[in-house]
Amino acid sequence: MNAVLVVDKPQGMTSHDVVNRVRRILGERSVGHLGTLDPMATGVLPLVVGKLTRLAQFYTHSEKEYEGTIRFGFATDTYDADGMPATAIYDRLPSLEQVREAAARFRGVIQQVPPPFSAKKISGVPAYKLARKQREVELQPVEVEIKEFEILGLEGECASFRARVSSGTYMRSIAHEIGKVLGCGAHLASLRRTRVAEFCVTDACTLEQLEAAKADAAEAQTKGDDIFVHLRRVLPAFPSVTANDQIAAMIRAGRAVNLPEMSRAPKVKVFYGQNQLLCIADRVAGTLFHPKVVLAG
């Protein structure tokens, strides 16, 4: 099976847990995800199946969108609601105007220190493993871009927000740092990812829906394609071209092909028929393209 699907990750599961569950449901060992979500978070988790796991290399810098809440009054050791309180509890809470002023400081290109409880590695060891052993964790700041960050409202101790950020951005760190700016401590109370690259929450299915669709497809002896993302929608920045039998055979053999209609594109998606993605091809010169990643045998 070669496919792309979007799972609405439930709270409490790791991204790896979801991958393992989908492997069992589909009966397919080769399944990967296009961007980790913390166990506390829910929402868009795009998965690639079969030979399409090789598409993951094109999503390492994907933009992401989130909705969530920040709770003011104390910080936690994990920077989110799963952690233990790491500061005193403050009774005096900020106003909506103060929260919005603090949030404005984090828009644009910033240097961000990842949370100590994260998968970032220190001398080859994930930071969270060191943090769990209460060993000192010193992570270097990384450059990220907060393209949009809007505080939608404030109810009691919790502010709701919407954000659009570059790959590698930790919303937990933003919540923690806003708490420091306001002097009252804060942590991420909830987080829902609503988009990764071209994959939106409206594309997503729950694990239960995937199981039901797989069972229905097996009973009807069909492929159950409705649950998967149509491959013509994948990597929209790359134009598509449909290969004839001769060109398809050359691509399967790893040979360069002439695509006259694609003289200006640096990369193209080559299809055989409507939904069989043969390869991602790089332009060598003029209209000559070489298959960089062959996805169909």
58 and 102 both lie in a single domain: no
183 and 137 both lie in a single domain: yes
Check if the beta carbon of residue 173 is closer than 8 Å to that of residue 113.
Answer: yes
Check if the beta carbon of residue 126 is closer than 8 Å to that of residue 119.
Answer: yes
207 and 264 both lie in a single domain: no
Catalytic residue among 8, 17, 38, 216: 38
Check if the beta carbon of residue 251 is closer than 8 Å to that of residue 257.
Answer: yes
> At 288, which CATH number?
2.30.130
Q: Mean pLDDT per 10-residue run, the chain (297 residues)?
A: 94 94 94 92 96 94 97 93 88 93 96 73 53 60 94 96 95 95 95 97 95 76 72 94 92 90 86 91 91 86
Q: pTM of the full predicted structure?
A: 0.88
Q: Which residue range is the domain that position 102 belongs to?
A: 64-196
89 and 207 both lie in a single domain: no
> At 147, which CATH number?
3.30.2350.10
Domain count, the chain: 3
94 and 190 both lie in a single domain: yes
Q: What is the pLDDT of residues 92-148, one digit of tens each?
A: 899 999 999 999 999 999 998 888 765 555 555 555 554 454 555 666 788 999 999
Check if the beta carbon of residue 64 is closer than 8 Å to that of residue 167.
Answer: yes
38 catalytic residue (yes or no)? yes
118 and 242 both lie in a single domain: no
Q: For residue 168, which of 113, 116, 129 has the smallest C-alpha distance?
A: 113
121 and 191 both lie in a single domain: yes
